[in-house]
Amino acid sequence: MARAVTQQRKIINTAAAWGVGLLIFFPILWTVLTSFKTEATAIADPPVFLAFDWTLENYSAVMERSNYARFLWNSIIIAGGSTILGIIVAVPAAWSMAFVPSNRTKDILLWMLSTKMLPAVGVLYPIYLICIKLGVLDSRGALVIILMLMNLPIIVWMLYTYFKEIPGEILEAARMDGATLKEEILYVLTPMAVPGIASTLLLNFILAWNEAFWTLNLTAANAAPLTAFIASYSSPEGLFFAKLSAASTMAIAPILILGWFSQKQLVSGLTFGAVK
Amino acid sequence: MSFNQALYAATAMTLVTASGALAENLVIATVNNGDMIRMQGLTQDFTDKTGHTVEWVTLEENVLRQRVTTDIAAKGGSFDIMTIGMYETPIWGANGWLVSLDDLSAEYDADDILPAMRAGLSHDGTLYAAPFYGESSMIMYRTDLIEQAGLEMPDAPTWQFIREAAAAMTDRDNDINGICLRGKAGWGEGGAFITVTGNSFGARWFDEDWNAQFDQPEWKEALTFFVDMMEESGPTGYATNGFNENLNLFQQGKCGMWIDATVAASFVTNPDDSTVADKVGFALAPNSEGVDRKANWLWAWALAVPAGTQKEAAAKEFIEWATSKDYIELVAENEGWANVPPGARTSLYENPNYQAVPFAQKTLDSILAADPTNPTVKPVPYVGVQFVAIPEFAGIATEVSQEFSAVYAGQQTVDEALAKAQALTNDAMEAAGYR
């Protein structure tokens, strides 16, 4: 039976939700506001919230100094490529774990997740050397593969969870109708799991977009994405907060817009299977 | 087409082909600071003169350090030129990771490089990096506040005077701290400052046999003095303040004195950014009474060519351009004399235009007062003023500075921090085979 909620309680809950939401969003808002200030106003004490002379000079300085389009293009290729490749590898893996599990399936799933606990810096040098030997240092291809491998455990886990919700009998029926394995996955399983696959795609695209360890350490002039673009405006000897904020705003804007338009899919995908 | 026209066309084509064949695209790793940004803006001048193009990979200082160390150790070849500091240069030079710069052209006039900078960027007499700009540290103080306090800043004050002046200038009601100093953990942040403070009290990191010296009375005196003075007259939360935090406080008029990098002088006197631009004086870094060493460091950001680059000749051409006398003139023409990269060349300080800059002479005096081979009173087995030029130092000093920052934050006592610093330093040196 649903619990009765009073009007007063509703108002309190709504206000609390807005409060928490604004608290989480405030750093982003502050970054955006700072990007429109002069360097002197950016560090003013007490801080100025809205009553300042708005300027676009930081954006023009950033555009003049950096090739933003190249960083953006690299981010799109690296994040998009690693996510799509990850889905291609993970769908069959998750299918086998969900529908034809072995005695070791649970152990394998846990082992896959445990690889995420390894600090990335622990394997930096071997991976760096491999990239040099293969001649792929500072290339987008290398980052696509590395980020795909880094995110693969999460992709497999998410897809496995969605696939477990799909009745195995439907796939069995398809098989009885003569569907091959490929047809079963492509034409029966995938259409039913579209919401789950979409939210997995989105989440991993965001994770790959924000990844800042491998993208900083394995790139130089050619494959550097937006994380390197932001890092180039950080300075321990000099106050360039307004320019850093402008660069950060330009780097997060595409993913913020994507997240805004796909928030329904993200939420439905992430809460899929949470209530049974 | 006449014969002459054909000849001209053929000559032009040959020249274009030849210049195309020689033109290189150089990848340069660098830090993000005012001087480097200025250099990026002026790179077209280099391209116009040589035909070589330049791509910049700009990173935050610590990220850059990690990135270029990995690349050079693994012979990755990602960069043709690296911006490195005085700490890395002799170590990497000794490892054979850098190309010697002893063969730069006569017009470059390498003898014009300030001797202290040249010594710090060399190993066994070979120059491995050319200084783009050099710095020491000095006192920047508010002339109006010290006058109100009824004091006069000497050219070379002692720590005892500084403590007295800081107490006199402190005005908690108006949010003015007598003195702002680095307390942030990190070997290049608070670690650098407390090391030079230690030097000025006669303390040293190691004795001649590489034994840690934090159990000696000089370190206790230096650290106790620092903590007491900062509690009396420093800003709250100074344990997390580094260069940028103190720069912000000083520019907002909240510090009576700030002892830090000489390069900060151009920031605090810039009326566009600083609210106290016309009220700043300069003095040499202090020493404790009776100790013949000042609390000033020596540092340079320098350009080096990694061994194994395929573009060594073009890389050296760039270094000659970027660290030349002509480049200084170019910056002066475009940005004014106050913004030229300081602390690298003797001739700059002989230039009447630069002598008119208010902080020029004090910067030079501070640089000349630092001696990397004799940083403190007692003999030491290492080179370096605010660092010890051995590969293990960055890791050890970061841990030691974390212990000291815990004292500044009131989480442990001076004795506890020194005991931990002594133990961890000796352990690390033993593991590395020095003891």
pLDDT at A269: 66
Give yes or no for A228 touching B (CB within 8 A): yes
Residue A267 scores a pLDDT above 80: no
pLDDT at A92: 92
Cβ atoms of B28 and B290 closer than 8 Å = no
Nearest CA in chain B to A44: B252
Contact A221 B55 (CB under 8 A): yes
* Cα→Cα distances A49→A42, A53, A108, A242, Å: 10, 11, 51, 14
User: Which of B70, B77, B78 is nearest residue A124 as measured by Cβ atoms?
Assistant: B70
* Domain at A66-232, CATH homologous superfamily: MetI-like (1.10.3720.10)
Would the CA dihedral through A100, A106, A107, A108 be positive or negative? positive
Residue B370 scores a pLDDT above 70: yes
- Residue from A129, A237, A240 to probe the interface with B (highest B Cβ count within 10 Å): A237
pLDDT at B330: 96
**pLDDT tens digit sequence for B326-355:** 999 999 999 999 889 999 999 999 999 999
Say how far apart CA B335 and CA B345 lie, in whole Å. 18
**pLDDT tens digit sequence for B253-283:** 999 999 999 999 989 998 988 999 999 999 9
Q: Phi, psi at residue A240, to the nearest 5°?
A: -125, 45
Of B178, B159, B190, B166, residue with least CA distance to B406: B190
pLDDT at A30: 96
**pLDDT tens digit sequence for B194-245:** 999 999 999 999 999 999 999 999 999 999 999 999 999 999 999 999 999 9
**pLDDT tens digit sequence for B10-56:** 555 544 444 444 789 999 999 888 888 899 999 999 999 999 999 99
pLDDT band at A32 (very low <50, low <70, confident <90, very high): very high
Nearest CA in chain B to A136: B76
CA atoms within 13 A on the CB side of B124: 7
Domain B3-135+298-355, classified CATH 3.40.190.10, yes or no: yes
- ipTM for the predicted complex: 0.80
Say how far apart CA B374 and CA B367 lie, in whole Å. 14
Cβ atoms of A230 and A251 closer than 8 Å = yes
Of B366, B151, B166, residue with least CA distance to B258: B166
Q: Residue written as tokens 């700072």? A: A34
Q: pLDDT: is A89 or A268 the higher one?
A: A89
With beta carbons under 8 A apart, name residues in chain B contacting A231: 58-60, 63
Give yes or no for A232 touching B (CB within 8 A): yes
Residue B363 scores a pLDDT above 80: yes
Structure-block tokens of residue A80: 């998009």
Please check whether the two domains, B3-135+298-355 and B136-297+377-431, share a CATH topology: yes
Those of residues 35-74 in B touching chain A at CB distance below 8 A are 37, 40-41, 55-63, 66-67, 70-71, 74
Those of residues 242-281 in B touching chain A at CB distance below 8 A are 242-244, 247-248, 251-252, 254, 261, 263, 267, 272-273
- Residue from B24, B31, B78, B175 to probe the interface with A (highest A Cβ count within 10 Å): B78
Give yes or no for B306 touching A (CB within 8 A): no
Give yes or no for A40 touching B (CB within 8 A): yes
Q: pLDDT: is A237 or A169 the higher one?
A: A169
Q: What top-level class would CATH report for the domain B136-297+377-431?
A: alpha beta
- Residue from B59, B72, B299 to probe the interface with A (highest A Cβ count within 10 Å): B59
Structure-block tokens of residue B33: 């600071």
Say how far apart CA A264 and CA A267 lie, in whole Å. 5
Share of chain B above pLDDT 70, in %: 95
What would the mean pLDDT of B246-257 be, rounded to a whole number? 95
Asked if the peptide bond before residue B157 counts as cis, ω within 30 degrees of 0, the response is: no
Domain borders along chain B are 3-135+298-355, 136-297+377-431
Q: Residue written as tokens 């007598």? A: B178
Q: Where are the beta strands (DSSP E) in B276-367?
A: 280-284, 298-304
**pLDDT tens digit sequence for B77-120:** 999 999 999 999 999 999 999 999 999 999 999 999 999 999 99
Say how far apart CA A163 and CA B172 lie, in whole Å. 64
pLDDT band at B6 (very low <50, low <70, confident <90, very high): low
CA distance A126 to chain B (A): 10
Alpha-helical regions (H) of A100-225: 105-114, 124-134, 140-164, 168-176, 181-183, 190-192, 194-210, 214-217
